[in-house]
Chain A
Amino acid sequence: MGPKPSTLKRVMPQLLILAAALALNVLVFPEFFHIDFRNGRLFGNVVDVLNRGAPVALLCIGMTLVIATRGIDLSVGAVMAIAGAVAASVVVDGHGWVTALLAALAAGGVCGLWNGFLVAVLRIQPIVATLVLMVAGRGIAQLVTEGKILTFSDPGLIHLGAGVVAGIPTPILIWVTLGLLVAWAVRKTALGMLIEAIGINERSSRLAGINSRVLLICVYTVSGLCAALAGVIVAADIKGADANNAGLWLELDAILAVVIGGNSLLGGRFSILASLIGALIIQSVNSVILLSGMPPEFNLVIKAVLILCILVIQSPRIGNLIYILRASGPQPQPDRPPLPKKEAAR
């Protein structure tokens, strides 16, 4: 099952940006694509990019769906902290890693249900509704860990973050599998279309018979579950749950990845594939900064500037300007068609 030509066309700009980012990587580090197989595990910078990008990629999957419904989920970073704390405390209490994983997923699911309830039933704006959990979530996570950094040594749980299956690091397998699964679910069924309908006009989607309330709750729950999985992976990677720093600002990275993936913050048409490529772009940019050996103080500045460039290139206004420049021949310049105003941050 190869991607359809239309899919390929949709993600072409993102693929080009990714290629440019990877080319930059090769430029500063010619060995970039070199992959080793040692001690039953793949080693190499590309593998690292895929591995390190796992948390953002996982968050991205849920975030894309949420943003497609014209929402936003600010709480994913805090949910990561909660899930990590829950998993660690369950393991420390002497239960197995499966119980810990299930407990963490349950915690994430409850968080998502809460967000979905606020958005879909109480009709609170998504940015406000998820802000509540974003503010309170780290407090809850600290409550679970009692303010300490809970460390654990359960091999099963650690395997989720630092383990290897058939030579491939587990986090990569998890995010690729989940990404494919969700992308398949929304594209092979009408689910994706229904979600897009909610994002374009919720009222009319409801009038058309879509149970938007249940669907919205489901979307936020999926986002919570993805965040929980990311939280478990991060906790497993460092063998401990840090309520203060786990997933700090990752919600912003995830939103950024979705936007770089060409999805509008105003909802509507979405592509999980493009968002995942967006996440990889962010990770490749991180990697280029790291490999270039620049002083780490410059990381954030360079990242900000690069992201700004990518966003400006994708800005509808710039696209419009190019369109007008191309169209402007001998005939008088047509008036710029009114663009939908941005209201995403509301």
Chain B
Amino acid sequence: MIRSTHLPLLVTLATLVLAYALCAAAYPAMLSTRVMSNLLTDNAFLGIAAVGMTFVILSGGIDLSIGSVIAFTGVFLAVVLRETSMHPLLAFVLVLCITTGFGAAMGATIHYLEMPPFIVTLAGMFLARGAAYVLSTESVPITHEFYDTLQGLYWKAPGGGRFRLIGGIMVLTFIVGIVVAHRTRFGQNVYALGGGEQAARLMGVPQAMTTVGIYATSGCLAGLSGIVFSLYTSAGYSLATVGVELDAIAAVVIGGTLLTGGYGFVGGTFFGILIMGLIQTYIVFDGTLSSWWTKIVIGGLLFAFILLQKGLTWATQAKATRARRRTATGSAALS
């Protein structure tokens, strides 16, 4: 029997399959490995950031800063590689340390000063975007042979699709994210925190460590996403990736995670990303639809999934009430 808790995930998966089938019916070329590999490559940075966002949302918080952090990471890498002779790998480690620390600082502010995540990460968004401006206001190209090497890494599938490194990094991030969310103590704590802070406290969840850890994870993954984005575009630009946090939130919600926290799946976010990428690909294939339809369709999908979750919550609650009533009458009959 399908448990109702898995239903949103299944519906997301079914939506993806159905949408892909519809697209493929209209344009058989959509089934080629080229399209599939591009779907992974083009959405790699969004996917990686969305994993972090899933953790944040599962814990009942929100992180508005990731778009800015991605832009900051790109500009930082570009400027460092232009100004110094530092090896890119070292620069990657350095920038990941910075973004992780940034996330941890936001988490600490949220926990210790008891400020709403919305406002703290909003200030973080301004700060990271501002830092990117300070580093450089214009687009800085990245030319380094190591970047060329990384960009040249791909697995050529039959049919001509090129599964590149960055798509692989995204898939790997999702796998690690799924394992961490469902198989570790930290993951349990995240779910517990999202289920209700008071209950989590009573359960003995280390709140401070978990909150700081969640936002540090989100910061770290935003940094990784920035690295992937710089590999994708070969440049750093402080005006890039504006509004990515919204796309990430939309992907998380479409993936079946409740924005109230405590319930959802990291795997669902992966399907959410693919659905959003699919809409864009379809619009490109169609050619007559304008780009703004992407936003409208994603908004509509968001609405549909929210309604679905709402309906499921109602249904489960009604079932629980019925069950309770049955037990109540049963015990009354016994006594």
Contact = CB atoms under 8 A, between A and B. Distances in A.
Contact of B292 (A125, A142, A317, A318): A142
A143 B292 contact: yes
Nearest to B294: A139
B94 interface: no
A317 B112 contact: yes
Given A147-B290, A255-B118, A317-B112, A140 B310 contact: no
Contacts of B259: 125, 127-128, 131, 346
Interface stretch (B39-47, B123-131, B167-175): B123-131
A300 interface: yes
Interface string A107-127: 000000000000000111101
A40 interface: no
Contact of A342 (B115, B294, B300, B306): B115
B130 A299 contact: yes
Which of A132, A298, A339 is most buried by chain B, counting CB atoms within 10 A of its CB? A132
A142 B126 contact: no
Contacts of B119: 255-256, 259, 265, 311, 344
Contacts of A316: 114
B118 A256 contact: no
Interface stretch (A158-166, A181-189, A302-310): A302-310
B137 A297 contact: yes
A302 B123 CA distance: 11
A252 interface: yes
A135 B112 CA distance: 32
A341 B197 contact: yes
Given A139-B295, A256-B122, A298 B130 contact: yes
A290 interface: no
B257 to A, nearest CB: 11
A134 interface: yes
A128 B252 CA distance: 12
A325 interface: no
Given A135-B299, A139-B295, A255-B118, A346 B113 contact: no
Contact of B295 (A122, A138, A255): A138
Contacts of B310: 122-124
A134 B123 CA distance: 20
Q: Sort chain B's interface into a size bin.
A: 35 or more
Contact of B302 (A72, A131, A315, A346): A131
Interface in A316-346: 316-318, 339, 341-346
Contacts of A344: 116-119
Nearest to A122: B310
A139 B117 contact: no
A303 B126 contact: yes
Interface residues of A, number: 53
Interface in A137-159: 137-140, 142-143, 146-147
A339 B307 contact: no
A304 B299 contact: no
A132 B306 CA distance: 9
Contact of A135 (B62, B64, B260, B298): B298
A265 B116 contact: yes
A304 B290 CA distance: 36
A304 B130 contact: yes
A139 B306 contact: no
A4 to B, nearest CB: 29
A139 B127 contact: no
B290 A142 contact: yes
A301 interface: yes
A340 to B, nearest CB: 9
Which of A129, A136, A312 is packed against the most chain B CB atoms within 10 Å?
A136
A339 B261 CA distance: 21
Contacts of A280: none
B206 to A, nearest CB: 16
Nearest to A314: B115
A234 interface: no
Contact of A305 (B115, B127, B246, B261): B127
A304 B306 contact: no
B241 to A, nearest CB: 14
B92 interface: no
Nearest to B290: A147
A228 interface: no
Contacts of B113: 312, 315, 317-318
29 contacts: A123-B310, A125-B260, A127-B62, A128-B253, A128-B259, A131-B249, A131-B253, A135-B298, A136-B295, A136-B298, A137-B299, A139-B292, A139-B294, A139-B296, A142-B291, A146-B290, A256-B119, A256-B122, A300-B126, A301-B133, A304-B123, A304-B124, A311-B119, A315-B113, A315-B114, A341-B197, A344-B117, A345-B61, A346-B60
Lowest 6 A-B CB distances belong to which pairs? A136-B299, A139-B295, A300-B130, A301-B130, A142-B292, A304-B126
